[in-house]
């Protein structure tokens, strides 16, 4: 069992789009809940990590694009 490694400043592409039409979010805060800001309109949301992990399509980190499966950290 593992969790997806999410870092501050990552750009997440989600399965569903925000009402403004954008699917990309910038990670602002990390913890039990993940704080993200919409790239297009700047709306800020806090989403529980478990719920967010189910909706991630890809992670853009420092110019590299990762699929969620490539960013998993094994936890016992």
Tell me the pLDDT tens digit for each residue of 22-74. 999 999 999 889 999 999 999 999 999 999 999 999 999 988 898 888 888 87
Note the helical H segments in 1-76.
49-53
Total domains in the chain come to 1
Q: Which of 15, 12, 32 is nearest to 24 (CA)?
A: 12
At residue 9, the pLDDT reads: 96
Q: For CA atoms 73, 62, 49, 70, give the dihedral sign.
A: negative
For 26, the domain range is 2-74
Could you give the CA distance from residue 54 to residue 40 in angstroms, rounded to a whole number? 22
Q: Is the pTM of this model over 0.75?
A: yes
Distance of CA 48 to the CA centre of its chain: 11
């Amino acid at each position: 069992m593992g969790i997806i490694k999410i870092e501050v400043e990552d750009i997440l592409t989600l399965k569903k789009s925000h009402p403004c039409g954008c699917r990309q979010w910038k990670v602002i805060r990390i913890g039990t809940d993940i704080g993200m800001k919409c790239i297009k309109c700047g709306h800020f949301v806090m989403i529980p990590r478990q719920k967010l992990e189910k909706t991630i399509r890809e992670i853009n980190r420092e110019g590299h694009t990762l699929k969620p499966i490539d960013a998993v950290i094994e936890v016992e």
